[in-house]
Structure 1
Amino acid sequence: MLLWPLAALTSFAVIFALTAWVGSSIPRNAGWQEPATGIEIMIETNGVHTAIVVPTVTAQKNWREDFPIDHVLAPNRPYTHVSVSWGEREVFLNTPTWSDLSLPVAINAATGGEGLLHVSHYVRPALSRNHRPLTISHDEYAKLIALIEKEVLPEAERQSYRGYSDYDVFYNAPGTYHLGRTCNQWTSDTLAAAGIRTGWWTPMAGGVMKWIPQVETD
C-alpha cells in the first residue's frame, strides 16, 4: 500500500517539473530588448532561489530609506548594492541550508505560507554565472522601484528578523506563498510587471535565469 503514495508523489514531481519547464519557456514581454544605456541591475541565484539586485543609491532611488543599513549587524561597510527577494516565512527563517528543510515546513509553504522579504547588502558584487547583470531603462527601473516598494510595509507594521550573516535581514511582507506564487515566481512577476522579458511560470530558479544572459568572466 505504501507504493501508491510514493507513486503519486513521484508523478506529481514529474508533472510539476514538466509544466515548470514549459511554463518558464513561454515569454512575457517577448519583444523586450536590453537597452544600450540605463540602470544596471543583477539577477542572482543560489541554484534554488532568485533575487533582484539593485544599486543602493541612484538619482531615482535611495534604498537606504526602505532598508536602513543599521538593520544589519555590520552597518559600517561601504555597501553599493541591495539584493531583494520574497519568499515563505518558515522556509526563510528556519532553513539556513536546504538540509534543514523539514517535510512539515515544505508542505506548509506549498499550501500557503506567510510572505517575508530577504534583503542583503553587498559591496561591489562580482559578476558570475550566478550573478548576472541586466541593463534596463530608467522608466523600467522606475516601475521596478514601485513594485519593490509595494512589498515594504509601513515602519509601524514592519518587523525585522536576523539574517543568515552580518549583512542581511528579513522583514515581514504582504502576500501568501504557495506553489502558484513561489519565490522565483515573485522574481519573474516583478520583472515582467516592470516590462522586462521573462518566463510566464517560473517556480524554479532555472526558469528565471534562462532569460538572463550569462556573462564571461576571467
Structure 2
Amino acid sequence: MGVLSRFVSFGASDGYDRDTGTPIWIFDHGYHAGLILPRRALKDFGGAHSDVWLTLFPEADWFEFGWGDKGFYFDVPTFADVTFAIGAKALFWPTETVMHVAVGTGSPWTRFTHSEGIEIPVTDMALKKLVSFVEDSVESSQMLGPGLYGVSAFYKGRGKYHLFQTCNSWVSQALRAAGVKSAPAPAVLSSGLMWDLQRRF
C-alpha cells in the first residue's frame, strides 16, 4: 500500500480538518498524479459537469481526476510507453488537454495498491473549492472515449499543457485553490509533488 499521510493539526481556515474533515487522496501512478474526491463532494458541491459524472457512474464511491496533455495521455498508457519524443512534445510545446476521470467503490487504497498515495482530511469549504477547480478545468461534458484503467473516461480539458503546467502542477494548484498547502515548484514531477505533501502531513 502507498504512504498514508501523518495528520498534522491546522486551522479550518487552511482547508484542513484533521478530526472531522472529509478525506481526499492524491495517488502517484509513476509519472502523473491523480486527485481523488469522494462522491459526496460532487453531490453536495458540484455543478453541471458533476451532475453528468454522478449520473454516468451511479455506483461510484469516489472519482479520480487527472488533467494533462491529450497526446501524452492517449499515447502513453503506462510509464514504459514514454519516449523522449512524446515527452518533449508535451513539455516544450503548449498542447491540448484532457481530463481523465476514473471511478471506484470502497477504499481507493485497495484499488491503487501499487501507487504511492497520501490522504488529506479537508473542510467542506475546501471540498467545494476543489470541485469548482476540477469543473473549471473541463471544457465539455461530452465523453471523448474510454479511459486508461478500470471504469474511466476522457473529457476535453480547458487550458494548455506545457513544462510549467503539467498534470502534477494541476493537482498542486487544485490543492492550493482549496487552501491546502502545496509548493508549486516540486509539483512539476509527481515524485516532487508527493515529497512535498508527505513532509507536510
> Using the alignment, how far apart are the partners of 2:101 and 2:163 within structure 1?
22
Kept after mapping to 2: 8 A contact 1:54/1:83: yes
1:146 Cα deviation from its structure 2 partner? 1.0
Helix, strand or coil at the partner of 2:154: strand
Helix, strand or coil at the partner of 2:96: strand
Helix, strand or coil at the partner of 1:172: strand
Helix, strand or coil at the partner of 2:145: strand
Q: Calculate percent identity across the aligned residue pairs.
A: 21
| Residue-by-residue CA offset, 1:99-122 (whole Å, 9 max, x unaligned) | 222333222101221111111001
> Using the alignment, how far apart are the partners of 2:198 and 2:91 within structure 1?
30
- Say whether 1:53 aligns with 2:36: yes
1:65 to 51, 69, 72: 51
2:25 to 42, 56, 62: 42
Helix, strand or coil at the partner of 1:199: coil
> Using the alignment, how far apart are the partners of 2:165 and 2:52 within structure 1?
24
In structure 2, the gaps of 5 or more residues are 1-12
| Residue-by-residue CA offset, 1:123-176 (whole Å, 9 max, x unaligned) | 123436723211111111111111111012244xx4422212340111111111
> Using the alignment, how far apart are the partners of 1:192 and 1:33 within structure 2?
9
Helix, strand or coil at the partner of 2:137: coil
> Using the alignment, how far apart are the partners of 1:50 and 1:79 within structure 2?
20
2:171 to 187, 202, 205: 187
Kept after mapping to 2: 8 A contact 1:43/1:212: no
> Using the alignment, how far apart are the partners of 1:151 and 1:134 within structure 2?
22
1:53-202 aligned at under 5 Å gives the runs 53-58=36-41, 60-61=44-45, 65-67=51-53, 70=56, 78-111=59-92, 112-127=94-109, 130-155=116-141, 158-201=142-185, 202=187
User: TM-score, length-normalised on structure 2?
Assistant: 0.77
User: TM-score, length-normalised on structure 1?
Assistant: 0.72
Q: What amino acid is aligned across from residue 203 of structure 1 in structure 2?
A: V
Paired positions, count: 177
**For residue 205 of structure 1, what is the aligned residue in structure 2?**
190
> Using the alignment, how far apart are the partners of 2:163 and 2:29 within structure 1?
19
Q: What amino acid is aligned across from residue 116 of structure 1 in structure 2?
A: V
> Using the alignment, how far apart are the partners of 1:204 and 1:119 within structure 2?
20
Moved more, 200-209 or 126-135: 126-135
In structure 1, the gaps of 5 or more residues are 1-30
